Amino acid sequence: MKQPEAKARIDKLKKEIEEHNHNYYVLNKPVISDFEYDLLLNELDTLEKKFPEFVTEDSPTRKVGSDMTREFRQYEHRYPMLSLGNTYSEEDLREFDTRIEKVSTAPFEYVCELKFDGASISITFRNGGLFRALTRGDGTKGDDVTLNVKTIKKIPVRITVENVPDEFVMRGEILMPRAVFDNINEDRIHNDLAPFANPRNAAAGTLKLLDPKIVASRGLDCNFYFLLADDLPHETHYENMMEASSWGFNVPKSIRLCRDIEEVIAFINHWESERKALPFDIDGVVIKVNSLTLQEELGYTAKSPRWAIAYKYKAEQALTKLLSVSFQIGRTGNVTPVANLEPVFLAGSTVKRATLHNENQIALLGLHINDMVYVEKGGEIIPKIVGVDHSLRNEGSREIKFITNCPECGTPLIKNEGEANHFCPNYLHCPPQLKGRIEHFISRKAMNIDGLGEETVDLLFNRNLIRNYADLYELEAEQLAPLERLGEKSAANIIKSIKSSLTVPYNRVLFALGIRHVGETVAKTISSRFISIDELMKADLESLTGVNEIGPKIASSIMAFFADSDNITIIQRLKDSGLRFSEETEKGPETDRLEGKTIVISGVFQKHSRDEFKELIEKHGGKNSASISGSTSFILAGDNMGPSKKEKAEQLGVAIMNENDFLELIGEE
């Protein structure tokens, strides 16, 4: 490879790796597996060694991926939080052992720890109390998530044992148990929210929430793996971890002291098969030199300690042929490409299909029809394709082209700026969307109409008895009884359940309409602010985004829904059928203490939650706003106020008020 070609490849790899770092650390939505990421990083490292003239200080090979966001205050780590070098091969482990033997003048031991797949945390304790908890950040400084960490039951807030260092740091991994993860995803699916891809993403995302009460409800756990202090109690890592365990820290019982590399490899092989029995996900084993003196002699590279390495398990994969790609249209019009595969047995079940996510993922993989592809489950909800065996590609294979028109109705697809998915905008005439919207409308958390499952909706749709959910209220038992699988009794029960749905409250009717991006929680929020559908239909962008948790994307979607005359016609038919499109009573403000004031809330509070403060603002005649502008009266600020909001407030000269002064202003002691 010549210099110009090498530089172009290095620049491309840097950009691609930084995008994956952002997806993984900040968005908690990785689009490639750890193995694929490591291949890219290793390729960049190899090229930089061959062409050192192109190495820069900001290269991903010389720094830790950052999880920092502007919503949290950042602090420096007293001890840098580095990443670990990793390997997937036994040969590399033996080379690691040989390098240490060359440095050590005496026999040495290793400590093996399971590499739990969660969110790294560094917690400082002062005088026995939990002082500050920081995320990994960029390795030098991290986000302050102290209030969230204090809600995790397995993390002690105060150490009552005598003779602990005046100040020390515990490093650990914030985890979400698989059972908790499954329950949360079940709830998210019922609430029309996208499920988390895996427990690691769920744990990392939860840790960055702005409301500690929600964090507390998520059932997070923590395992500790490192004790740091200027004056440590022992000269070995293993003894220090045992000491930390006696102080009340959750040090996994799986930690093992190994006399040589053979015992290390035996430990790795044991847990490769046993890991499925653990309540948490692990993705490998961390091997550390036990002696702290030897650790100091071995030292560090720019981003990793030389005395530790991570052996990573490959996610279980299978090689099979890609037969075709089909494109599915969801209820909200999203297009999902699905790979149809030659059946292959993988991780306990036969796999025939795998998700391809979106057009970007297909391009990243460079897929062709009839390619031999690697499929893995690796924490995903459904299998996914992670690679292609290019050596087995046929000369006549065809590159996959993403469709431009809806496969169901022929409408040109749309892809909004900043979104990864294409979608079909023809929601009133596209059959899968029509049926999907009806199925959503009758679901338990929406209108809760019994007797109308997916198959029955499909049957009624194909018989032209229904084309939208307003048609349901014009059905008669005589139309249903003659249909296959129904009969008079089933028909009567369906009609009875449809009539019973007329008592469903306004917020659930709003959710049932299936407005894009409006889930159950958002529908409740909107219905409390706009107490009738007529008021909501007149709302502009400013009044919508002024509502708690309603951003421009949701607001634009609501406005687009009500701008469609067909939707207005359907809503009028639903009104005529007797559905409830308003709250029973309109609740006005109790006082006028905040009348005419527009208030922005930022940060985390001690005496009330953010939602409770927003209710207090409205209760006293004020108006909530999500963004700061020249019309903002003041900012109600708690701990960890977002730096971007503070900066904008200073630019615009907007006053900042703490919660005690605010409570005094509204007359609450």
What is the rounded distance in angstroms from the CA atom of residue 509 to the CA atom of residue 168? 54
Report the C-alpha gap between 524 and 589 in whole angstroms: 19
Of 56, 65, 54, the C-alpha closest to 20 is: 65
Helix, strand, coil tally for the chain in percent (to 5): 40, 20, 40
Distance, in Å, from the CA atom of 246 to the CA atom of 161, rounded to the nearest integer, reads 8
CB atoms within 10 A of CB 279: 11
How far apart (Å, rounded) are the C-alpha atoms in residues 597 and 371? Answer: 62
Report the DSSP beta bridge partners of residue 602: 637
Region class of 614: left (phi > 0), else alpha (psi between -120 and 50), else beta:
alpha
Query: Element (H or E) spanning 12, and its range?
Result: helix 3-21
Residue count (the chain): 669
* Nearest in space to 614 (alpha carbons), one of 633, 604, 601: 601
Alpha-carbon separation of residue 513 from 438, 442, 468, 572, 583 (angstroms): 9, 10, 10, 13, 16
The catalytically annotated residue of 14, 115, 303, 623 is: 115
Tally Cβ neighbours within 10 Å of residue 640: 19
- Whether 213 is catalytic is no
Please give the torsion angle defined by the CA atoms of residues 524, 529, 530 and 536, in that order, rounded to the nearest 10 degrees.
Answer: -80
> How many other C-beta atoms lie within 10 A of the C-beta of residue 121?
24
| Tokens at 30, concatenated | 């990785």
Task: Show the DSSP H helices in 431-564 as ranges.
Answer: 431-442, 454-462, 477-480, 488-500, 506-512, 520-529, 533-537, 541-545, 552-563
Residues marked active site are found at 115
